[in-house]
Amino acid sequence: MSEPEPSASAPPSGAPKSTADDPWPVRVVSQKVGAWIAKLGWVWVDGQVAQISRRPGSSVVFLTLRDPSADLSLTVTAHRDVLDAGAPELAEGARVTLHAKPEFYPSRGTLSLRADEIRQVGLGELLARLEKLKRLLAAEGLFARERKRRLPFLPRRIGLITGRASAAERDVLMNTRRRWPAVDFRVLNVPVQGPTAVPQIIDALKVLDNDDTIDLIVIARGGGSVEDLLPFSDEALCRAVFAARTPVVSAIGHETDAPLIDYVADLRASTPTDAAKRIVPDLAEELQLIESARRRVDRAVRTLIDREEHRIEAWRSRPSLSRPELLVDQRAADVTALRERAVRSLDHRLRRADDDLRHTVARLRALSPAATLQRGYAIVQRDDGHVVRAAGEVKADDLIRVRLAEGELRAAVRESE
Helix (H) or strand (E) holding 52: strand 43-54
Asked if pLDDT for residue 1 goes beyond 50, the answer is: no
Where do the domains of the chain lie?
40-121, 127-281, 285-317, 321-365, 372-412
When pLDDT is cut at 50, 70 and 90, the band that residue 11 belongs to is very low
When pLDDT is cut at 50, 70 and 90, the band that residue 6 belongs to is very low
When pLDDT is cut at 50, 70 and 90, the band that residue 417 belongs to is confident
| DSSP character string of 298-319 | HHHHHHHHHHHHHHHHHHHHSH
The whole-chain average pLDDT of the chain stands at 85
Instruction: Classify domain 40-121 at the CATH topology level.
Output: OB fold (Dihydrolipoamide Acetyltransferase, E2P) (2.40.50)
Q: What is the DSSP secondary structure assignment for residue 374, as one 8-state letter?
A: H
Angstrom distance (rounded) from CA 157 to CA 186: 7
β-strand pairing of 216-221 with 248-252: parallel
β-strand pairing of 267-268 with 379-382: unpaired
CA atoms within a 13 Å half-sphere pointing along the CA-CB vector of 35: 14
Instruction: Classify domain 127-281 at the CATH topology level.
Output: Rossmann fold (3.40.50)
Angstrom distance (rounded) from CA 7 to CA 28: 9
When pLDDT is cut at 50, 70 and 90, the band that residue 219 belongs to is very high
Residue 223 amino acid letter = G
In this structure, how many other beta carbons lie within 10 angstroms of the beta carbon of residue 396?
9
Asked if pLDDT for residue 166 goes beyond 50, the answer is: yes
Local structure of 399: helix, strand or coil? strand
Nearest to 133 by CA among 260, 242, 45, 265: 260
Kindly report, residue by residue over 131-163, the tens digit of the pLDDT. Answer: 888 899 999 999 999 999 999 999 989 999 999
Are 173 and 160 within 8 A, CB to CB?
A: yes
Are 174 and 148 within 8 A, CB to CB?
A: no
Contacts of 316 (CB under 8 A, 6+ apart): 322
Length of the chain: 417
Angstrom distance (rounded) from CA 353 to CA 395: 50
Share of the chain above pLDDT 70, in %: 95
Angstrom distance (rounded) from CA 415 to CA 396: 5
Largest CA distance in the chain: 201
